[in-house]
Amino acid sequence: MYIKFEDVSYQYNSGTQMAQRVLHNIDFEIEQGSFNCIIGHTGSGKSTLIQHLNALLLPSNGKVIVPGGTIHARIKTKRSEIKQIRQNVGLVFQFPEYQLFETTVLKDIMFGPKNYGKSGKEAEELARRAAKIVGLDEALLEKSPFELSGGWMRRVAIAGILAMDPEVVVLDEPTAGLDPRGQKEILEIFIALQKQGKTIIIATHDMDLVAKYADHVIVMCEGKKLLEGLPKDVFAQPEIIKTAGIYLPTAADIYAKAFEYDEGLPLTLDDFVARVEKRYHNE
């Protein structure tokens, strides 16, 4: 299997009185070239989980298998292997400003390739190619990344990861805070990358994104995997979803309300719209 979590647990401040277990015996597999969404309420363990994918966090128990190596809980992973894993699995944080530090956008995007042994000329070529993929105009490349809006900073952070040509792209809430147009443009980048064969993994609160794009969904709740499967199968269990503090996608929520109002489900679109309108008019 391409990516695999085997009985993975994680504990902050291990061995101290402040120890806190935040992941509990997580098992799942991810196929190459798939579009995956990890969902759950704030504090469910999503961000902690995805940081195990490129060895930013190391499991307290179990192991994580990713392109480039295997991360074991009790076996020290070689630095060379961790470096290879981080080149193969790129992680973009929710707050892109945490990843940006260079004086210009171009230098920031070049940093990854240079850090992994590319010459200055090679790194610049890769950076310009990545900038084009995410829609960064040439005129922005010589600006300071900190002069840009949050949406453009996010694109710079994504470009910095893509410049290393990772097999897997992992993103934490990539559409948070963006307007609908910005969300659509960012998601189109990931869809294009998936079509090129890259594996996409997104931690998100956006259930409409999940319903529209995901091949595979993992639901987290209190550090445990609650559900896993196709979006249609996961969202077909609204009572379980509710316990995880997750809302249904808009279309599924409307349909559920229509069903609640009248268990004779509509057979045509006109019937469906009429029943929803009647439901909300009565409320």
For residues 153 and 253, membership in a common domain is answered with no
For residues 80 and 196, membership in a common domain is answered with yes
For residues 169 and 193, membership in a common domain is answered with yes
Q: What is the pLDDT of residues 67-88, one digit of tens each?
A: 989 999 877 888 889 999 999 9
Residues 141-145 have a mean pLDDT of 95
For residues 217 and 256, membership in a common domain is answered with no
Confidence at residue 274, expressed as pLDDT on a 0 to 100 scale:
54
Report the C-alpha gap between 199 and 67 in whole angstroms. Answer: 11
pLDDT interval class at 255 (50, 70, 90): low
Give the closest residue to 10 by CA, choosing from 40, 36, 54, 45.
45
Secondary structure element (H or E) that encloses residue 60, with its range: none
Domain count, the chain: 2
CATH for 17: 3.40.50.300
For residues 169 and 272, membership in a common domain is answered with no
Q: What is the pLDDT of residues 118-127, one digit of tens each?
A: 999 999 999 9
Residues in the chain: 283
Q: Count CB-CB contacts under 10 A for residue 68.
A: 20
State the residue range of the domain holding 199: 3-247
Residues 153-163 have a mean pLDDT of 94
For residues 138 and 278, membership in a common domain is answered with no
Region of 62 on the Ramachandran plot (φ > 0 left; ψ -120 to 50 alpha; else beta): left
Please give the share of the chain, as a percent, with pLDDT higher than 70. 88
pLDDT interval class at 24 (50, 70, 90): very high
Q: What is the pLDDT of residues 37-49, one digit of tens each?
A: 999 998 999 999 9
